[in-house]
Amino acid sequence: MIHVPEGMLDRLRDMVGGIATRPLLSRAPGRVEVLGNHTDYNGGIVLAATIDRFVWSLGIPAADPTICSADYQDLVSFSTESLSPTGMHRWYDYAKGVYWALLRRKQQPKGVAAVIHGNVPIGAGLSSSAAFEVSLTNLVAEISQLDLKPKDSAMAAFEAERLYCGVACGVMDQFTSQLGKPHSSLAIFCSTLETRDIPLSSDVSLVITDSMISRSAGDALNQRMIECQTALKTLRQAGWQISSLSDVTSDRLKLVDSMLDDKLAKRVRHVVTENERVLLGIKALQEGRVRDFGMIMYESHNSSRNLYDVSHPRLDLLVDIAKRQDGVIGSRMTGAGLGGAVLSLVESKQVSQFVKHVTAEYARETGQVPNAMACKVPGGVTVDPVP
């Protein structure tokens, strides 16, 4: 059954003075990075899953794009004839970026009158911006009857953020929101854009705990991307035949240590070992070894903290608190870092007690009550006519 969030239909009617045609509702999920921290833009492997927090786009055809953000209480109209990348991160830049990316791909998107609303926490590392882009991309594509394959839609959404808005992101966020399957994680091999569905056991649940330390993803991503590009350039100038840091093998890491300064060498070591952890994690899930997967999650967190320097004392605290709880299988920071959220894999029967105790202990130690969410894995974007 199609659920239209409260107030969206009324707001659309107010925008257009009555709805003459049947609206479409596009619903795109947020995502949680299960393994593969900062590997996607380094040509590596990531494992992610959709979560049951969404961005909805409700719309009908229109002469020009007219987009209302119900959450920002703002409305923008624009022509598609003079769009050019802004490098800005205002909500409507992402909307303009969607049209720009579709036009760049030689598509002919029609205008829409749309209302957009989301409940993906902003600044928690759960890809609210990607859910926005995927939701709007699919709404526009459906209304315009564009000939787009799912990966094409995901790439258009990615290009809206990466190329139009200038955020140094990889493809994980948009691919997961577009392509994820219910009750399954999605492995993405970023150098080839190959994807695989890796089912999740019904005996375990994903619990995301927001540290309430918010940050802009672009800040950490941009700096780390520059560092990785510098390391890659240095290695290639030394004659290494590699197209990304993910082409470096673990047996060459000691040589990397001798060629790069300590900071850059640590960045490379993280990327190489994190890719190995993702492969081991995929194998563990496929073989039902969830305890082994949990240990890999802890190792991933340690690497993100010690080698990539993107953790935060509050994230470390949340992982430590989670590790002490009954039923926990593994825990790690997720997303760009320097704030945001921690993902814990928890025995399903223990989830309510886990959430209760983690919330209480974190609040006692920090004075802040975290937002702990037990998440279902709903699968990727859907577009449906509103009854």
Which band of pLDDT confidence, cut at 50, 70 and 90, is reported for residue 222? confident
The predicted structure's pLDDT at residue 44: 97
Query: Catalytic one among 40, 93, 173, 210?
Result: 173
Residue-level length of the chain: 387
The predicted structure's pLDDT at residue 217: 52
Mean model confidence pLDDT for the chain: 95
Residue 2 lies in a domain: no
The verdict on 144 and 260 lying in the same domain is no
Q: Which of 78, 74, 112, 111 is nearest to 91 (CA)?
A: 74
d(CA 191, CA 40): 8
- State phi, psi for 186 to the nearest 5 degrees: -120, 120
Query: What mean pLDDT is predicted for residues 168-197?
Result: 95
The verdict on 67 and 212 lying in the same domain is no
pLDDT above 90 as % of the chain: 88
Give the tens place of pLDDT for each residue, 31-81: 999 999 999 999 999 999 999 999 999 999 999 999 999 999 999 999 999
The verdict on 242 and 185 lying in the same domain is no
Query: What mean pLDDT is predicted for residues 213-231?
Result: 80
The verdict on 230 and 358 lying in the same domain is yes
Report the predicted TM-score, pTM, of the whole model to 2 decimal places. 0.93
Least confident of 86-90, 149-153, 181-185, 371-375: 86-90
The predicted structure's pLDDT at residue 223: 87
The predicted structure's pLDDT at residue 178: 99
The verdict on 178 and 242 lying in the same domain is no
DSSP 125-166: SS-HHHHHHHHHHHHHHHHHT----HHHHHHHHHHIIIIIS-
Neighbour count for residue 124 (Cβ, 10 Å): 26
Give the tens place of pLDDT for each residue, 291-325: 999 999 999 999 999 999 999 999 999 999 999 99
Q: Does residue 292 carry a catalytic annotation?
A: no
CATH number of 276's domain: 3.30.70.890
Range of the domain at 169: 8-199+379-385
Q: What is the 3-state secondary structure (H, E, C) of 156-200?
A: HHHHHHHHHCCCCCCCHHHHHHHHCCCCEEEEEECCCCEEEEEEC
Do the bridges between strand 66-69 and strand 194-199 make them parallel or antiparallel, or are there none, so unpaired? Answer: unpaired
Number of domains in the chain: 2
